Chains A and B, each alone.
Chain A
Amino acid sequence: MTVLDPVVQVRDLQKSYGSVEAVRGVSFSIAAGETFALLGPNGAGKSTTIEILEGYRDRTGGEVNVLGVDPHHGGLDWKARLGIVLQTSGESGNVTVTEQLRHFAGFYPNPRDVDEVIDAAGLREKATTRISKLSGGQRRRVDVALGIIGRPELLFLDEPTTGFDPEARHQFWDLIRGLKAEGTTILLTTHYLDEAAQLGDRAGIIAGGRLIDIGSIDEIGGADARVPLVRWRDSGGLLREKRTSQPARVVADLLARGDGGEPEDLEVIRPSLEDVYLSLVRGHEAEAAASGAGNTVRPSRRRHGDGGAPASPVGSDKDVRA
């Protein structure tokens, strides 16, 4: 394996449970040191994909390579190079945070220092508290701490910040940035799109078992999806939006049209990853519904997107809500 080989390589991955196709031909790769965000609605195939990469599940078809190894045949040496933060944690936890971390550190050939990890995870004050006595968010930090204690080359984070308060989430982001700086490759799934935008280098969006888009965080969804939106309240009290690549001109026109009067609630919105994500997923759902209904009239759901959508005509005025 050379430096240039991707850490994760997935080609045409398929997974069926009986007659249900959970993953239908997903392909992507993750380069060394990269943070890749896998996004998608619940039940889209994210967790199945990630669990196949972690070696928990067997695939039905396709090729998977993680750190140069097929996860289906991954041995203990291979597992020693991974860090896994599972989506759920529900351990009874009659051990203290320090005891648990010290014990798990012992599984790995080159673990991190237990005290450093406790500090990095913000668990210093709870170091001698039993895990069963911690709050949900604190337990989640223990999960993350256990995921990184082995100094992994590749870290899986499956919805790591569920239940965190905003401050804890920011601390967690700092922790992950530190790991990135050390060269750790990270595969992240999350429902918080701001988190994906903060941490991710690239993102892939899965819906209905297929990868519907993949690209860098700044470019995913295409240029059209990122056309800014001008929003204001007109003299009738109606909230209006205009999608335009020239927001300043639109605002100037507004001002001119309103005889110099200040438009109310004026905003220039650059579509966030969340907006782009929602329009992509909704577009996919609409297509799926249309093909499922046998080429009947295609629902125009794309036009109802919160932040507009690639398909919505640029520059069109539309009423959003009264």
Chain B
Amino acid sequence: MSATQTRTRAHKKAPGTLLLGLSRIGYETRLYFRSPDTLFFTFFFPFIMLGIFTAAFSTSGNIGANPDGTGGVSVGAYYLPGMLAAGMLLSGVQNLAVDIAGEKSDGTLKRLGGTPLSPLSYFLGKIGQVFVTAILQAGLLLLVARFVLDITLPSEPEKWATFAWVFVFGVITSAFLGIALASVPRSGKSATAVVIPVVLVLQFISGVYLQFTALPEWMQNLASVFPLKWMAQGMRSVFLPEGFAAAEQNGSWDLAWVAGALGVWLVVGLVLSRVTFRWIRRDA
């Protein structure tokens, strides 16, 4: 290196990891909204399912109603918490697993690995994108619930505090699990075939599409191993009336267990992402 180059370089500092992370969030979010597949299967999927359930069961009356037909909640109101939980899972796990597996196989990661972009900035971009899109998705779901489906939303600040921590915790956990799951598909093309069944089965057994309390006990126990059941339960505690708690597995919302399960999965996801992620498949 020549003396002049040394001097100019000493003046110019490389952009910081955090700043680049922010730049990545903007870039990644733009890409997210330009991908029709992602928009349909991740962003709007909960809307579509909520619409289908509301329309299909609109004549079957309220869920949890008294024998005389009073009380309970509408079908839309009952499914709203599950759809919010599904949105968190899709935005994190499905979105990132398919996205990163694709980037691995189409050479995007290899190219980034040859630039001074820190892997930390890259992850900030991915997780930030998941946050931005999940927040937009949840906000839009709540608006549709309130103004289109005429669902009464809770007014108690405590409920919204619960919503906030379940959402943040759940989305971060999902994002890490998505990064970890991205290492499983052998190619970008097979990514959806590997990822979507996993996510779909989880949604069926975790109380997103089927009423969790109506599932057989073994299925409930199986679902309890995975994080989605806990996200859905946490969301039910926010949006369903107190009376519904009695129908849960232990007769209560078990928010401590929700926090515990999400915490464990967050650590598992973080460790797996850290261990499995490579810019390229490295040889020995």
A residues near B (Cβ < 8 Å) are: 1, 3, 17, 32, 54-58, 67-68, 76-77, 79-80, 82, 84, 86, 88-92, 94-95, 99, 103-104, 106-110, 146, 150, 153, 183
User: Could you list some 7 contacts between A and B, CB below 8 A?
Assistant: A3-B2, A92-B108, A99-B27, A103-B23, A107-B15, A109-B9, A153-B1
B201 contacts the other chain (CB 8 A): no
CB distance from A148 to the nearest CB of B (A): 12
Residues of A within 8 A of B27 (CB): 95, 99, 103
Taken residue by residue from 1 to 36, chain B's Cβ proximity to chain A (1 for < 8 Å, 0 otherwise) reads as 111010011001111000010010001001100110
Docked Cα-Cα span, A54 to B111, in Å, equals 11
Whether the Cβ atoms of A109 and B1 lie closer than 8 Å is no
Chain B contact residues, majority secondary structure: loop
Whether the Cβ atoms of A150 and B115 lie closer than 8 Å is yes
Whether the Cβ atoms of B282 and A58 lie closer than 8 Å is yes
Residues of B within 8 A of A3 (CB): 2-3
Of residues 75 through 118 on chain B, the ones whose CB sits less than 8 Å from some CB of chain A are: 102, 106-108, 110-111, 113-118
Question: B116: which of A57, A77, A86 is its contact (CB, 8 Å)?
Answer: A77
Whether the Cβ atoms of A86 and B111 lie closer than 8 Å is yes
The closest CB in chain A to the CB of B35 belongs to A94
Given known contacts A79-B116, A106-B15, A153-B5, A56 and B280 CB-to-CB distance under 8 angstroms: yes
Add 20 more A-B contacts to A67-B1, A95-B30 (CB < 8 A): A17-B283, A54-B114, A56-B110, A79-B114, A79-B115, A80-B14, A82-B114, A86-B110, A89-B107, A89-B111, A91-B107, A92-B106, A92-B108, A94-B31, A94-B35, A107-B15, A107-B115, A107-B117, A108-B115, A109-B13
Whether the Cβ atoms of A88 and B107 lie closer than 8 Å is yes
Docked Cα-Cα span, A80 to B117, in Å, equals 9
Taken residue by residue from 270 to 284, chain B's Cβ proximity to chain A (1 for < 8 Å, 0 otherwise) reads as 000000000010111
Top 7 nearest A-B pairs (CB, nearest first) are: A84-B114, A80-B116, A109-B12, A94-B34, A76-B116, A109-B14, A79-B116
Docked Cα-Cα span, A55 to B282, in Å, equals 11
Docked Cα-Cα span, A150 to B112, in Å, equals 13
Whether the Cβ atoms of A95 and B31 lie closer than 8 Å is yes
CB distance from A286 to the nearest CB of B (A): 31
Whether the Cβ atoms of B20 and A106 lie closer than 8 Å is yes
CB distance from A225 to the nearest CB of B (A): 36
Q: Number of contact residues on B: which range applies?
A: 20 to 34
The closest CB in chain B to the CB of A68 belongs to B1
Whether the Cβ atoms of B106 and A108 lie closer than 8 Å is no
CB distance from B41 to the nearest CB of A (A): 16
The closest CB in chain A to the CB of B17 belongs to A76
CB distance from A76 to the nearest CB of B (A): 4
B residues near A (Cβ < 8 Å) are: 1-3, 5, 8-9, 12-15, 20, 23, 27, 30-31, 34-35, 102, 106-108, 110-111, 113-118, 280, 282-284
Question: A108: which of B111, B116, B283 is its contact (CB, 8 Å)?
Answer: B116
Whether the Cβ atoms of A108 and B107 lie closer than 8 Å is no
Question: A56: which of B14, B31, B114 is its contact (CB, 8 Å)?
Answer: B114
Docked Cα-Cα span, A99 to B1, in Å, equals 31
The closest CB in chain A to the CB of B106 belongs to A90
Docked Cα-Cα span, A110 to B35, in Å, equals 32
With most chain A CB atoms within 10 A of its CB, the pick from B2, B35, B114, B118 is B114
The closest CB in chain A to the CB of B10 belongs to A109
Whether the Cβ atoms of B110 and A91 lie closer than 8 Å is no
Docked Cα-Cα span, A89 to B103, in Å, equals 11
Residues of A within 8 A of B3 (CB): 3
Residues of B within 8 A of A55 (CB): 114
Docked Cα-Cα span, A108 to B23, in Å, equals 13
CB distance from A66 to the nearest CB of B (A): 12
Whether the Cβ atoms of A32 and B2 lie closer than 8 Å is yes
Residues of B within 8 A of A54 (CB): 114
Docked Cα-Cα span, A82 to B8, in Å, equals 16
Docked Cα-Cα span, A54 to B280, in Å, equals 13
Residues of B within 8 A of A76 (CB): 14, 116-118
The closest CB in chain A to the CB of B27 belongs to A103
Docked Cα-Cα span, A87 to B62, in Å, equals 61
CB distance from A65 to the nearest CB of B (A): 13
CB distance from A23 to the nearest CB of B (A): 13
CB distance from B163 to the nearest CB of A (A): 32
Given known contacts A95-B31, A153-B5, A106 and B23 CB-to-CB distance under 8 angstroms: yes
The closest CB in chain B to the CB of A60 belongs to B284
The closest CB in chain B to the CB of A78 belongs to B116
CB distance from A47 to the nearest CB of B (A): 12
With most chain A CB atoms within 10 A of its CB, the pick from B8, B9, B106, B111 is B111
CB distance from A258 to the nearest CB of B (A): 59
Docked Cα-Cα span, A80 to B118, in Å, equals 11
CB distance from B96 to the nearest CB of A (A): 15
Whether the Cβ atoms of A110 and B31 lie closer than 8 Å is no
Question: A110: which of B9, B118, B280 is its contact (CB, 8 Å)?
Answer: B9
Docked Cα-Cα span, A95 to B33, in Å, equals 11
The closest CB in chain A to the CB of B36 belongs to A94
Residues of A within 8 A of B113 (CB): 56
Whether the Cβ atoms of A86 and B107 lie closer than 8 Å is yes
CB distance from A176 to the nearest CB of B (A): 19
Whether the Cβ atoms of B1 and A1 lie closer than 8 Å is yes
Residues of A within 8 A of B284 (CB): 58
CB distance from A22 to the nearest CB of B (A): 10
Docked Cα-Cα span, A79 to B102, in Å, equals 24
Residues of A within 8 A of B108 (CB): 91-92
CB distance from A52 to the nearest CB of B (A): 11
The closest CB in chain A to the CB of B121 belongs to A107
